[in-house]
């Protein structure tokens, strides 16, 4: 059996065991796809306990700003490994500019299945359409 299929089946049984839906990382959509236009793949539609998030993707900061999203991370700079499922310390939540739920709002608190991996989200201004209070530091209307 292929490793990815084994991993998918393992995650599915874990999700059923904790009675939660597990968000998976979308590796297939190009990172340059604007976050405002992002639609997750549909290959998990038949698995009720697995999903791709619709409001965010796991990208590094540069990829997120290229995709015109807003970067959300942990305000205490703690590891996001258990939340992003990525061992790359540069990865964070790249949210749609107008998203304000889940990992996409400053101040939201998250734990990881009741374990010791709690984080509190803090988000940047969007790469485009940042609020007027930051207009004096934008470059051609972009938050870089």
Nearest to 85 by CA among 1, 14, 2: 14
* Ramachandran category for residue 22: left, alpha or beta (phi over 0 → left; psi -120 to 50 → alpha): beta
Per-residue pLDDT band at 93 (split at 50, 70, 90): very high
Q: What is the pLDDT of residues 19-67, one digit of tens each?
A: 567 888 898 999 989 999 999 999 998 988 888 999 999 999 889 988 9
Q: What is the pLDDT of residues 76-91, one digit of tens each?
A: 888 888 888 888 888 9
Question: Is 130 part of any domain?
Answer: yes
In this prediction, residue 1 carries a pLDDT of: 43
Question: Is 16 part of any domain?
Answer: no
Average pLDDT rounded to a whole number, residues 114-135:
72
| Domains held by the chain: number | 1
What is the reported pTM? 0.75
Range(s) of the domain holding residue 128: 29-47+55-137
33/2 Cα distance (integer angstroms): 29
Question: Is 103 part of any domain?
Answer: yes
Using CA atoms, how far residue 34 sits from 65, 75, 121, in Å, is: 9, 25, 22
In this prediction, residue 22 carries a pLDDT of: 81
pLDDT at 108 over 80: yes
Question: Is 62 part of any domain?
Answer: yes
Question: Is 86 part of any domain?
Answer: yes
Question: Is 75 part of any domain?
Answer: yes
59/66 Cα distance (integer angstroms): 10
Which uninterrupted H or E stretch holds 91?
strand 91-95
DSSP 8-state symbol, 19: T
User: Coil, strand, or helix at residue 56?
Assistant: strand
In this prediction, residue 54 carries a pLDDT of: 93
Largest CA distance in the chain: 56
Question: Is 15 part of any domain?
Answer: no
Q: Kindly compute the dihedral angle of the four CA atoms of residues 122, 84, 29, 103, in this order, to the nearest 10 degrees.
A: -30
Question: Is 3 part of any domain?
Answer: no
In this prediction, residue 71 carries a pLDDT of: 93
């Amino acid at each position: 059996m292929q490793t990815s299929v084994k991993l998918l089946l393992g995650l599915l049984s874990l999700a059923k065991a904790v009675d939660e839906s597990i968000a998976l990382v979308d590796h297939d959509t190009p990172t340059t796809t604007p976050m405002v236009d992002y639609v997750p793949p549909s290959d998990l539609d038949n698995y009720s306990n697995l999903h791709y998030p619709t409001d965010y993707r796991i990208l590094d900061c540069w990829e997120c700003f290229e995709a015109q999203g807003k970067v959300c991370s942990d305000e205490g700079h703690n590891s996001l490994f258990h939340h992003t499922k990525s061992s790359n310390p540069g990865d964070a939540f790249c949210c749609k500019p107008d998203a304000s739920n889940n990992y996409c709002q400053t101040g939201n608190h998250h734990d990881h299945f009741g374990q010791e991996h709690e984080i509190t989200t803090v988000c940047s201004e969007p790469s485009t359409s940042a609020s007027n209070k930051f207009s004096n530091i934008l470059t051609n209307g972009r938050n870089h």
